[in-house]
Structure 1
Amino acid sequence: MPRFSHFQGPHPNPPHSAGQASGAGLPEGGITQPPGVARLRQRASANPATLPSVSTLLDLPRPLLDVHRSALGRPWHERCASAQAQSLAVAIAQGHGLPEVLARVLAGRGVDLHAVPGFLEPRLRDLLPDPAVLVDMEAAADRLAAAILKREKVAIFGDYDVDGAASAALLASALRDLGVPYRLHIPDRITEGYGPNAAAVRMLAEEGATLLVTVDCGTAGHEPLAEAARLGMDVVVLDHHGAPELLPPARAVVNPNRLDDLSGLGHLCAAGVVFLTLVALNRRLRRDGLTIPDLMAGLDLVALATVADVVPLHGLNRAFVRQGLAVMRGRGRLGLAALLDAAGLSEAPQAWHLGFLLGPRINAGGRIGDSTLGARLLLCEDPIEAAGIAAQLDTLNRERQAIEAAAVAEAEAEMGMRLERDPDQPVLVTGSPDWHPGVVGLIAARLKERFGRPAFAFALRQDGTATGSGRSIPGADLGRAVRACVEAGLAAKGGGHAMAAGVTLAALDLDRFREALAGDLAASVAEARLGEALLVDGLVSAGGVQPDLSDAVERAGPFGQGAPEPVFALARHRVADARVVGTGHVKAQLRGRDGVAVGAIAFRAAESPVGRLLLSHIGRDVHAAGTLSRDRWRGSDRVELRLCDVAEAD
């Protein structure tokens, strides 16, 4: 068993002793309010209807390790804190013969006692629904089957991100295996923008396409799809983005987020929708003696898109990722194998590799290079060509990182000054004529991470228009807010889902857009930020950060959006060493009182509060919290901590 300390009683902190924090200087009871709560109380008192209640904050147990305010300004609390959750953990451990640490991870995530086996081993045969539960699915399968049987030329219109590339490659692979001619079009981010456009539709029609299938786009493409109908093309839309009440003209619009869809599958990414469409198509083709060869081989693409598109990892999505990773580890898809090599990943890929290593490289083509590179790589059947495209994407990714770093520094400085003047801004909106349109989404993501609230970044054009991308926090639906702006005439076009959205402003008026978003999202952002406490799954020592602990925790994966990776805290460990490495990462050695040390790394933290505290506390004790990172490089097998927060332990 790993050296794992579980908590007991209502106050999960060790008794105070010499050298430990005593709570001196804190208000009576030892509880301080998180940043901004006093201001929220004042605003709520002035107008109680505008903000959620904050009184529940004072019902929280005493912060873990007395961390009331960490480097990132938040308290730490035990995730599995309630008596009910602790009882469930004991029942899971005893009832299923599981390690205590794994039982606590499951209980902290609300996994029911009887659901444990299915959660630990999610299988498609248990979770895959009948695709017909999706509105228009039968019509889509019938039209695709007709095109296949008649050998019509099919045009696939995708998107330039990972989900779009994977969705297009998934459908194109099936058509290729069935001997059906197809034409794949991925729009250029700068010259065409997101979604179908009339010029591209006319080009595809002139090339002889009689069926247009849009993947990861099309739900809001009224005018281009009307042009397709005028030119005699049938249209099938396979999408997952938020849908307006009025849908575009099409033979079928398969989208679990359309308003009349009751499937309950709104958490799928576009590749998940495409996979279900292929399941329905396969069933339809069997009537004519055809089948899609090795349909399950496409699960690697579904897993990649599911993680990279940051959709919730629960239910069917967990099965997609778990089984898709197993397919990917077989390295049967030449393009992905080449990209794994280009990224320097020699170990078996895990879920976080898809989001942090593979996804950014595929996206790099659409951001600052050739938007077709990602889909071409995923479809590639020549190992030499695959290696060449993978190397090209790797180079573009490095260029993208350099462009991003300069823009993020500028954006963070601007937002920092704005928040000093008005710290209660619920949404951050910024823009610059110097920013490349391909990196504005990354700028927004960094602002969201740094300041803990939804953020939008815009590339401002000389003609007065602006193209922007936004990222949100759980609980604040950014896609819905953007669609409301479009309907109100504040934006020319836009859409997305809860966690990410894109928009084009016809007139350069960021202030009106900011005010509209703030008015829409203020209450949900305030409520979400009140729950900013870091939730910790367990206390460990440096000596306890071992492969057996990692093995136990990995069984609860995959982890990602909606399935937070377990966080472990090291109490009062000395910073034996800390230094800046790579592109602004901080690498440290944390030593316990028994003399055992563990490696730790804080990504992109050199200029962040976490990095600054580590670098200034060499030779001093800190409390550290992070997730487990396994390193099996060249036969070694060790575990280090990916730091997400630190706190002073003086």
Structure 2
Amino acid sequence: MSHSLPDQRWFIAQANKTSVEHLVQNTGLFPILAQVLLNREIITSDLAQIYLNPESQNLPSPLDEFSDLKLSVDLLAEAIASQDKIIICGDYDADGMTSTAVLLRSLTHLGADVNYLIPSRMKEGYGINTRIVEECASAGVGVILTVDNGISAYEPIARAVELGLTVIITDHHDLPEILPPADAILNPKLLSFNSPYQGLAGVGVAYILAVTTAQHLGKLQGLTDQLLELFTLGTIADLAPLTGVNRRWLKRGLKKLPKSKLAGIQALMQKSGVSDQQKPVKPDDIGFRLGPRINAVGRIGDPQIVIELLTTDDPEIAKMRAMQCEQINHQRQTLCEQIELEAIHLIENTPIQWKSDRILVVVHPEWHHGVIGIVASRLVERYGVPVFIGTYEEEDTTKIRGSARGIQEFNVFEALEFCRDLLGKFGGHKAAGGFSLATENLELFKKRLSQFAHQCLKIEYLKPLVKIDAQANFSQLNAALYQQIDSLQPWGIGNDFPVFWTENVRVIEQRMIGKNHLKVTLAQDDGCQIKAIAWRWGQYFPLPPRFDVAYKLRENIWNGNTDIELEIIGIRLTNIQNNVIKKASFQYKGRAYICSHWQEIDELRIKNEEGKVLSVKRGHRSGLLGINRETAETIDVTQPHYYQLIKEAIAALSG
């Protein structure tokens, strides 16, 4: 039986035995977990101690890092004292809505005359616009405070200044060539690259402004925990890097969430099944349960539902709003599944030449603006290329609005910059972005994106990447290892949950469960077995009888029993079979080599003392040379040095 397998590229981190032993001695971590820290560039004992205990790091004051923070605090304090109207201009994603809630709660607590506006996703798209500015001016607003937007809105900000409004921008998106003429700008992208505040999401910038203003006015008491909880929710939901100050504050915030004093967070956790008050909430609980319910409202509902959920102190209103989030999230799931299927059909039946283009651009007139970004992420997972997905403005087929998602070697924001002259509005960062353009520019947009992609993407990059930390045997995968991994939460973006791999495992049992998932029992040849789950892998059923497997560890609690299982994220056919590998060692020009002949695939491999491997198949004039296949270069093995080396290896194997 032939088996359909995911078309992946694996990157396996190189083990460093000496550094691992050093970290183990200084931290008490399991060796396999010490290797994970090394892979995260935590290479010294000092860095490891900060990683294990983020509170031990001496943080610089935000006032010293953000040059406009003191001015921003003074402007807000002055507006509060004179009761000038303050309008928060938010955004309709989880980051923007939690940012809005942070400043709405804090400024209300400080006695400000404050309200908020969020532009219509469907009619206006992302960010502050001239309509909002002119309405604020007409209504006698004194201060506009943007959250999670504004850094690219030169014209609306210039108009606000022209109309005499004070403007404070808080944002975290990439910087345009010319900054808008706001009175004050707070953006971590303006900081030095090694600042611990570099990775803040929009809600992190709002949190710093809220806390610093409350401290300045001497009214921080009673505010800290609720702002920290909102910061935690928004930071993880926005997929911000869980490093630097984010890691430090999230470690605190995740412990606070189970016993949250905020009625809205309590209601949302109960409705989504995250309600164990004895355990800290994990990033996955937010990423896969709380965050999607908040984001769904911004995508296809009214953001006011979430703002009210996160700012109300009335438990009944909170329950009602949480129920609305639940219902809207169900609608969002249905829409995503439908659009994903339609997109796949379009890609594979049109057909779209995404491999030769090195980019995937797909547009359909009837897709919902609010969820195409999620579908873009799923298409990236499926095809392994950057995806730009769009749909027409509501009833205007002359305009397209879209979302983009990238891969590791591709910068979405730079790609959009490369197409600047073809676009209306656009923005974003390395991994994701949004854009609009005239329909007549679509074909030129595709060509320009393909041109950009060819500059930075080799053909071998066009497969989903599986990044692996270390090799493991099933005997190492026990509750003690899982507990140590769990104690190092928060794992997430920029500090990925550890991924291990095991070679040549056997399938003992496999079956489909739910809509599209696989439940599997795997074993090594020593008899050690473990259960595994593969989410959304129904298309690969049945799996082959043997393979190498890449996975994360997960805790499965069922009927009061707790087991450690694998969450499969990658498989590849194994090269190891019984009695099919012949090995030998030899000397050539004073250097030692190990060689092996893999009979099943008729491949010769020669490894030197530095770990570099030359692999060549019988009858081929070219081979691969490198530490691993993913990064190896193609070389001509008929060159005298390689030709003679191969002859020596064959002689050694024949001896």
Which TM-score bucket, shorter chain as reference? 0.7 to 0.9
Of 251, 255, 261, which aligns to 1:332? 261
Classify the secondary structure of the residue corresponding to 1:123.
helix
Moved more, 440-449 or 174-183: 174-183
* 2:439 maps to 1:507: yes
Of 413, 419, 428, which aligns to 1:479? 413
Of 284, 293, 298, which aligns to 1:366? 298
Classify the secondary structure of the residue corresponding to 1:212.
strand
Q: Structure 1 residues 231 and 120 mapped into 2: Cα distance closer, same or farther (>3 Å)?
A: same
Deviations 1:135-192 (Å, cap 9, x if unpaired)? 3222211111112222332111100001101111111111122222211222221022
- Report the CA distance between 1:466 and its aligned residue: 0.7
- What's the counterpart of residue 71 of structure 1? 5
Asked if the contact 2:228/2:253 (under 8 Å) is kept, the reply is yes
Equivalent residue letter for 1:645: G
Classify the secondary structure of the residue corresponding to 1:561.
coil
- Report the CA distance between 1:329 and its aligned residue: 2.6
Classify the secondary structure of the residue corresponding to 1:509.
helix
Equivalent residue letter for 1:511: E
Classify the secondary structure of the residue corresponding to 2:363.
strand
- What's the counterpart of residue 615 of structure 1? 542
Of 119, 143, 161, which aligns to 1:229? 161
Of 166, 169, 185, which aligns to 2:117? 185
Equivalent residue letter for 1:322: K
- What's the counterpart of residue 379 of structure 2? 447
Classify the secondary structure of the residue corresponding to 1:424.
helix
Classify the secondary structure of the residue corresponding to 2:457.
helix
| In structure 2, distance between residues paired with 1:528 and 1:138 | 49
- What's the counterpart of residue 566 of structure 1? 498
* 2:43 maps to 1:112: yes
- Report the CA distance between 1:204 and its aligned residue: 3.5
Asked if the contact 1:135/1:261 (under 8 Å) is kept, the reply is no
Deviations 1:12-42 (Å, cap 9, x if unpaired)? xxxxxxxxxxxxxxxxxxxxxxxxxxxxxxx
Of 146, 149, 162, which aligns to 1:214? 146
Of 469, 488, 498, which aligns to 2:403? 469
Q: Structure 1 residues 335 and 413 mapped into 2: Cα distance closer, same or farther (>3 Å)?
A: same
Classify the secondary structure of the residue corresponding to 2:199.
coil
Q: Structure 1 residues 125 and 105 mapped into 2: Cα distance closer, same or farther (>3 Å)?
A: closer
* 2:552 maps to 1:627: yes
- What's the counterpart of residue 58 of structure 1? none
Structure 2: gaps (5+ residues) = 578-655
Equivalent residue letter for 1:466: I
Equivalent residue letter for 1:381: D
Alignment of 1:554-593 (within 5 A): 554-593=486-525
| In structure 2, distance between residues paired with 1:272 and 1:124 | 20
Q: Structure 1 residues 144 and 70 mapped into 2: Cα distance closer, same or farther (>3 Å)?
A: farther
* 2:271 maps to 1:342: yes
- What's the counterpart of residue 403 of structure 1? 335
Q: Structure 1 residues 426 and 131 mapped into 2: Cα distance closer, same or farther (>3 Å)?
A: farther
Asked if the contact 2:133/2:156 (under 8 Å) is kept, the reply is yes
- Report the CA distance between 1:275 and its aligned residue: 1.8
- What's the counterpart of residue 644 of structure 2? none
| In structure 1, distance between residues paired with 2:194 and 2:120 | 34
- What's the counterpart of residue 634 of structure 2? none
Q: Structure 1 residues 281 and 344 mapped into 2: Cα distance closer, same or farther (>3 Å)?
A: same
Of 4, 13, 19, which aligns to 1:88? 19
- Report the CA distance between 1:261 and its aligned residue: 9.7
Q: Structure 1 residues 337 and 259 mapped into 2: Cα distance closer, same or farther (>3 Å)?
A: closer
- What's the counterpart of residue 68 of structure 2? 136
Q: Structure 1 residues 155 and 103 mapped into 2: Cα distance closer, same or farther (>3 Å)?
A: same
Classify the secondary structure of the residue corresponding to 1:277.
helix
* 2:389 maps to 1:457: yes
Q: Structure 1 residues 512 and 181 mapped into 2: Cα distance closer, same or farther (>3 Å)?
A: same
TM-score, scaled to structure 2:
0.80
| In structure 2, distance between residues paired with 1:125 and 1:274 | 22
Of 221, 243, 249, which aligns to 1:320? 249
Classify the secondary structure of the residue corresponding to 1:364.
helix
Deviations 1:468-515 (Å, cap 9, x if unpaired)? 0111122322123223433xx211111111111001113343222222
Q: Structure 1 residues 222 and 565 mapped into 2: Cα distance closer, same or farther (>3 Å)?
A: same
Asked if the contact 2:7/2:463 (under 8 Å) is kept, the reply is no
Alignment of 1:167-206 (within 5 A): 167-206=99-138
Equivalent residue letter for 1:443: V
Q: Which has the higher contact order (CA 8 A, sep 6+)?
A: 1
- Report the CA distance between 1:401 and its aligned residue: 1.0
Classify the secondary structure of the residue corresponding to 1:625.
strand
Asked if the contact 1:134/1:262 (under 8 Å) is kept, the reply is no
Classify the secondary structure of the residue corresponding to 1:127.
coil
Q: RMSD in angstroms over aligned alpha carbons?
A: 2.8
- What's the counterpart of residue 92 of structure 2? 160
- Report the CA distance between 1:234 and its aligned residue: 1.2
Classify the secondary structure of the residue corresponding to 1:257.
helix
- Report the CA distance between 1:77 and its aligned residue: 5.2
Q: Structure 1 residues 399 and 599 mapped into 2: Cα distance closer, same or farther (>3 Å)?
A: farther
Q: Structure 1 residues 345 and 454 mapped into 2: Cα distance closer, same or farther (>3 Å)?
A: same
Q: Structure 1 residues 122 and 521 mapped into 2: Cα distance closer, same or farther (>3 Å)?
A: farther
Alignment of 1:408-447 (within 5 A): 408-416=340-348, 421=353, 423-447=355-379
- Report the CA distance between 1:335 and its aligned residue: 1.5
- Report the CA distance between 1:571 and its aligned residue: 3.6
| In structure 2, distance between residues paired with 1:457 and 1:208 | 40
- What's the counterpart of residue 32 of structure 2? 101
Moved more, 261-270 or 438-447: 261-270
Moved more, 261-270 or 156-165: 261-270
Q: Structure 1 residues 335 and 636 mapped into 2: Cα distance closer, same or farther (>3 Å)?
A: farther
Deviations 1:273-309 (Å, cap 9, x if unpaired)? 11222343234324xxx44643243222222222222
- Report the CA distance between 1:363 and its aligned residue: 0.8
Of 561, 570, 585, which aligns to 1:645? 570
Classify the secondary structure of the residue corresponding to 1:179.
coil
Equivalent residue letter for 2:365: P
Moved more, 90-99 or 544-553: 544-553
Deviations 1:369-399 (Å, cap 9, x if unpaired)? 1122222222221112112211211111111
| In structure 1, distance between residues paired with 2:324 and 2:157 | 33
Alignment of 1:542-553 (within 5 A): 542=474, 544-553=476-485
| In structure 2, distance between residues paired with 1:372 and 1:528 | 45
Which of the pair is proportionally richer in strand? 2
Q: Structure 1 residues 418 and 188 mapped into 2: Cα distance closer, same or farther (>3 Å)?
A: same
Equivalent residue letter for 1:314: T
- Report the CA distance between 1:244 and its aligned residue: 1.6
Of 303, 307, 311, which aligns to 2:240? 311
**Greater Rg, structure 1 or structure 2?**
2
- What's the counterpart of residue 324 of structure 2? 392
| In structure 2, distance between residues paired with 1:94 and 1:70 | 44
What percent of counterpart residues are identical? 32
Equivalent residue letter for 2:233: L
